[in-house]
Amino acid sequence: MSMTRIEQPEDVPAAFQAAWNAHDMAAFGRLFDDDATFVNRFGHYVRGVEAIVAMHTPIHSTIYSDSTLSNELIDVVPIAEGAVVIHFWSRLSAGAAHPAGPHQVDTLILAVLKKQDEQWLIKALENVTLTNPRTGEVVLRGQ
């Protein structure tokens, strides 16, 4: 996969989805600033693009090797010159490689983007699983 330049913030969800679905962790890493932070849906925090790639590489060769994401932009909120916050929905469809078998999980992603060298990079990202607040049970959007 060639290096993807994110020219508009609203392109990040599609680029994130494409890198994930190709299981191309080098392309995934290029979406992030060198010193970016990432909080996954289980609350695991890492800092730096190398740590972000290292967190995702093992799962893409095992439990998520046949998974796909489907992302949908919610909004882009400018916060300063060359800086925005974006929110997007993300539906993970895990396949047969996952120990729990094929299933889907919806999450809401918040990302802070920074413009540098005429492209946008993710500076911070947090991913939250949609759950029933009373039971903690995972729920899908629209259900």
Domain boundaries, the chain: 9-129
pLDDT at 2: 42
pLDDT at 87: 98
pTM of the full predicted structure? Answer: 0.94
Q: Mean pLDDT over residues 17-37, rounded?
A: 97
25 pLDDT more than 50: yes
78 pLDDT more than 70: yes
Q: Mean pLDDT over residues 118-138, rounded?
A: 94
3-state secondary structure the chain: CCCCCCCCHHHHHHHHHHHHHCCCHHHHHCCEEEEEEEECCCCCEEECHHHHHHHHHHHHCCCCCCCEEEEEEEEEEEEECCEEEEEEEEEEEECCCCCCCCEEEEEEEEEEEEEECCEEEEEEEEEEECECCCCCCECCCCC
pLDDT tens-digit series, residues 31-48: 999 999 999 999 999 999
Computed over every residue of the chain, the mean pLDDT equals 94
Name the CATH architecture for the domain at 9-129.
Answer: Roll (3.10)
pLDDT at 4: 66
pLDDT at 143: 67
Residue 102 banded pLDDT, cuts 50, 70, 90: very high
